[in-house]
């Protein structure tokens, strides 16, 4: 039954317009051949020879890539990148996605492009990730940029079928979802109370307006001040309580235990995760969940349906090893 519903919902995706507001990252994979390891003559330290560099969209960029893979007809991206080599690669990757509009995605000279640099050792049993090297902005987002981004949200708020807001930064006010942008998202939510506006924050959702929150179990316990959510019954009750207080559907991912969601009337749902089919890599799974929940809701799907679809998407994504994965309609349909 869910597969038939997914086919009907996904048939509407080409007619949808979705805005993604958030921190676009560059996921830079450095593939290392251990057989070519050397010792530096100057320092005596090991030299790890990179045989291939793969640049992929991460963070809000990976949400965009997932939406494009689903066949969403028009995607508006609100964010920024730095005027640097990493920013060039981000814009290059975005240019390959013909459905993405980057009119609200400026290249900013005095900001760095958020980058996750991931050394990957190529081993017989599969790629193994080593310690990551990150490039971030630790200073506040300039006021002029924050206001420009907020103005873009205000303009798009009345034109789109759904909004996804993703905060990848660890420090408040250093990325795209500044106070001004969050306030504008809240204004859009009040104007359009039935439109899905899915918010996810690595930092915290505590200072976000009333939107459709998507978080994990640890983030829920921190937000609600609940110490023990080991019981499924208790967890569903907590999620339902939060959804009622927000007046919007709420989604909580539980890793291998699936996802729990609740509607504003207090009705809760649980969609189990699909069993692993071999080695897994969880990078990008959350982005696949976010994109699929938003797309399904925008197409008219129910909360429970969106959860089951998202679990199938996540299952496909986690079986893509050593990469920031996405899931297409065909990939998801095969698992429903």
Assign 106 to helix, strand or coil.
Answer: coil
Predicted pLDDT at 230: 65
Q: Is the pTM of this model over 0.85?
A: yes
CA–CA separation, 105 and 113 (whole Å): 12
Predicted pLDDT at 40: 95
The closest alpha carbon to 163, from 297, 13, 307, 313, belongs to: 297
The closest alpha carbon to 111, from 21, 24, 190, belongs to: 24
Backbone phi, psi, residue 239, to 5°: -65, -40
Token pair listed for 193: 């109370």
What is the number of domains present in the chain?
Answer: 1
CATH code of the domain covering residue 230: 3.40.1190.20
Count of beta carbons in the 10 Å neighbourhood of residue 196: 25
In the numeric block, the tokens 């199938």 are attached to 312
Predicted pLDDT at 220: 87
Predicted pLDDT at 129: 87
Q: Which residues of the chain have pLDDT under 70?
A: 1, 227-230
Predicted pLDDT at 318: 86
- Domain of residue 273 covers 2-333
Do 198 and 290 contact (CB within 8 A), yes or no? yes
User: Which DSSP helix (H) or strand (E) runs through 64?
Assistant: helix 60-70
Do 316 and 20 contact (CB within 8 A), yes or no? no
User: Which tens digits make up the pLDDT trace of 240-255?
Assistant: 999 999 999 999 999 8
CA–CA separation, 153 and 183 (whole Å): 10
Do 47 and 37 contact (CB within 8 A), yes or no? yes
Predicted pLDDT at 282: 75
Do 52 and 13 contact (CB within 8 A), yes or no? no
């Amino acid at each position: 039954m869910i597969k038939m519903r997914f086919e009907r919902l996904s048939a509407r995706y080409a007619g949808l317009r979705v805005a993604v507001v958030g921190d676009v990252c560059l996921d830079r994979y450095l593939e290392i051949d251990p057989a070519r390891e050397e010792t530096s003559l100057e320092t005596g330290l090991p030299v790890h020879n990179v045989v291939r560099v793969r640049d992929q969209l991460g963070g809000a960029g990976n949400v965009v890539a997932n939406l494009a893979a689903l066949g969403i007809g028009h995607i508006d991206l609100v964010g920024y990148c730095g005027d640097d080599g990493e920013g060039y690669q981000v814009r290059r990757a975005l240019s390959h996605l013909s459905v993405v509009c980057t009119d609200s995605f400026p290249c900013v000279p005095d900001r760095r492009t958020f980058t996750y640099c991931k050394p990957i050792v190529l081993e017989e049993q599969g790629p193994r990730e080593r310690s990551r090297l990150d490039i971030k902005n630790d200073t506040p987002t300039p006021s002029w940029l924050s206001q420009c981004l907020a103005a873009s949200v205000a303009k798009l708020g009345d034109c789109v079928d759904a909004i996804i807001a993703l905060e990848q930064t660890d420090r408040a006010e250093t990325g795209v979802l500044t106070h001004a942008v969050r306030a504008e998202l809240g204004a859009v939510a009040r104007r359009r109370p039935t439109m899905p506006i899915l918010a996810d924050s690595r930092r915290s959702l505590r200072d976000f307006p009333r939107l459709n929150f998507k978080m994990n179990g640890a983030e829920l316990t921190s937000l609600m001040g609940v110490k023990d959510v080991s019981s499924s019954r208790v967890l569903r009750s907590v999620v339902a309580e939060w959804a009622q207080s927000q007046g919007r559907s709420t989604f909580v991912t539980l890793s291998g235990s699936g996802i729990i969601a609740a509607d504003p009337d207090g009705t809760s749902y649980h969609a189990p995760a699909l069993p692993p089919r071999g080695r897994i890599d969880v990078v990008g799974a959350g982005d696949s969940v976010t994109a699929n929940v938003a797309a399904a809701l925008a197409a008219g799907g129910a909360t429970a349906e969106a959860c089951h679809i998202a679990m199938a998407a996540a299952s496909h994504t986690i079986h893509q090893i050593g990469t920031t994965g996405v899931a297409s309609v065909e990939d998801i349909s095969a698992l429903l």
